[in-house]
A and B are shown apart, each in its own frame.
Chain A
Amino acid sequence: MDKRIRVFDPTTTPKEQALRYAPRPTTLQGKKVGLVENTKYNSDKLLLKIGKILADEYGVIGVLLRRKRNAGVPAHEEIINDIKAECDVVIAGVGD
């Protein structure tokens, strides 16, 4: 007698989404860079240092530093809007 049992998959596969990178600029010359700070200790210093390197060596004309509410959440609308209004490119990442 066949006593096989049927058991169920407990996992979920996240819905696939088509992700598209924003077009990359061919040069940073004359561009303004947004810096998204994730609130971690020294993350502002690190980003400003990156901004200075981009200015000194790649012709960036200015940076705009904006702080997230905390490290675990996406950037909120207000800082996204600030950066969209003023910047050409943005640097965001998780430092820990």
Chain B
Amino acid sequence: MSSANLQSNTFEVSDTAEAIEFYYDKGWTDGLPVVPPTEASIRAMLDAAALDPGQEITYIENRQVSVTAEKVAINAVMAGCKPEYMPVVAAAVEALGDPRYGYHGPATSTGGSAVFMLVNGPIARELDINCGDNLFGPGWRANATIGRAVRLVMRNVIGTLPGKLDRSTLGHAGKYTYCIAENEAESPWPPVHVERGFRPEQNAVTIFAALAPHQVYNQLSNTAEGVLTTIADNMRISGSVTSQPQYVVVIAGEHMRVIADDGWSKADIKRFLFEHTRNSLAHLKRTHRVAGPVQPEDEATMRPLVQAPDDILVVAAGSKAGAFSAFIPGWGGKNASQSVTKEIRRP
């Protein structure tokens, strides 16, 4: 436990209700009430991750901002996190500063992305991070508050304020929180963090600059090829189409079983989706996504939606019931921002 003094300015208020209004007045909330951060609650957050208040979690080059553990802890308290969530929040904030994520682009762009967070490893079950029913909906404290804490850090510490340094034209609800876990217990496939070189018993968080989830219906097919043909058809024209972002594809329970029963691996899914989401240059021109008149050879010139099959992250999650899956287009293009996985370190 660190005994170092907290460095932040403090304010005295008469009660919790006054504190909530004070944080609104200061412009320090996402529009929802926050939990007032006190010394005890901030220290509990730091202790749960064995962090010193002054420790730098990440550095945001474009903003010249050092994000300290103390500020992350304050915002995590405000978001409603339990102290044991703090290592997940800290790992996600660390990932924000990774050059591969390229914070400035997705955070400020008119393209309006959110920070999608996927938690893998035993910690997801220990913290009850939802990977099942109502996957992207409300009802789970960990999902609701871990993602919210990261957004509050972006707002309050890094200065990513809507209309100022966040110029999103539309944005989406994932900017409040966008945190899920993979259903490792029931998945027939290796989890994302293992695909990326971690051991199954390690804990990791993957962040991804993401647009909103798109639900795909296929209540008809009982083959992997059938289900994935439908998913590919929905994906083909989505996101920024011509700039090749990465994608997340969330395969939910019934589709998971259909695909696994046919013996398809995650690599098979990625390869099939890569091959079946290409667009003809002629179509992109006819629909005004690429400039210029259609040339005869454009009909047979195919443009892949992503750069490579591994740019589609396949995640097993969602309810057991219902023949739906989802895909999430990434922001911009992979050259500007890509998903980043960091280990979640606990004392």
Residues of A within 8 A of B (CB): 3-12, 14-15, 17, 41, 69-74, 96
Pair A72/B36 contact, Cβ less than 8 Å: no
- Top 9 closest pairs, chain A to chain B, by CB: A72-B105, A70-B336, A9-B9, A10-B156, A10-B74, A7-B36, A8-B8, A9-B8, A12-B157
* Distance of A96 Cα from B108 Cα, bound (Å): 12
Q: In the assembled complex, which residues on chain B have CB atoms less than 8 Å from the CB atom of A15?
A: 64
Q: How far is the CB of B170 from chain A (nearest CB, A)?
A: 15
Quick check: B152 and A71 within 8 Å, CB to CB? no
State the CA gap A74–B62 with chains docked (Å). 8
B15, A3: Cβ atoms under 8 Å? yes
A77 CA to B245 CA, complexed, in Å: 25
Residue of A nearest to B10 (CB): A6
Interchain CB contact under 8 A, A14 and B156? no
Pairwise interchain contact B9-A14, C-beta atoms closer than 8 A: no
Selected from A5, A14, A71, the residue in CB contact (under 8 A) with B16 is: A5
Which chain A residue shows the least CB distance to B36? Answer: A7
A39 to B15, CA, bound (A): 52
Smallest beta-carbon distance A4→chain B, Å? 5
- With a CB–CB cut-off of 8 A, which chain A residues contact B12? 4-7
Closest chain A CB from B30 CB (angstroms): 12
Asked whether B202 is an interface residue with its Cβ less than 8 Å from the other chain, the reply is no
- Tell yes or no: B139 within 8 A of A by CB: no
Residues of A within 8 A of B16 (CB): 5
Q: Are B64 and A73 in contact (CB under 8 A)?
A: no
B37 close to A7 (CB less than 8 A): yes
Closest CB in chain B relative to A93 CB, distance in Å? 15
For the complex formed, measure the closest distance between the CB of B27 and the CB atoms of chain A, giving whole angstroms: 9
Q: Hey, which chain B residues are within 8 Å of A74, CB to CB?
A: 62
B65 touches A10 (CB 8 A): no
Question: What is the CA–CA distance of A4 and B19 in the complex, to the nearest angstrom?
Answer: 10
Bound CA–CA A15/B36 (angstroms) = 26
Binary contact track B12-42/A, C-beta < 8 Å → 1, others 0: 1111100100110000100000001111001
**Are A4 and B14 interface neighbours, CB within 8 A?**
yes
Separation of A14 and B68 alpha carbons in the complex (Å): 12
- Closest approach, in angstroms, between the C-beta of A62 and any C-beta of chain B? 28
Given A10-B156, A14-B65, A70-B105; A5-B28 close (CB under 8 Å): no
The reply to whether A70 and B335 form a contact with Cβ atoms under 8 Å apart is: yes
**Taking the nearest CB of chain B, how far is it from the CB of A73, in angstroms?**
6
Output the least CB separation between B154 and chain A (Å): 11
Alpha-carbon gap, A14 to B28, bound state (A): 16
B78 at the interface (CB under 8 A from A): yes
Q: A14-B159, A72-B102, A73-B104 are in contact. Are A7 and B19 (CB under 8 A)?
A: yes
Q: How far is the CA of A9 from the CA of B38 in the complex (A)?
A: 10
CB of B346 within 8 Å of the partner chain: no
Contact of A5 (CB < 8 Å), options: B15, B63, B102, B159: B15
Contact of B11 among A9, A11, A12, A73 (CB under 8 A): A9
Select B333's contact among A7, A70, A96, beta carbons within 8 Å: A70
The residue in chain B whose Cβ has the minimal distance to the Cβ of A7 is: B36
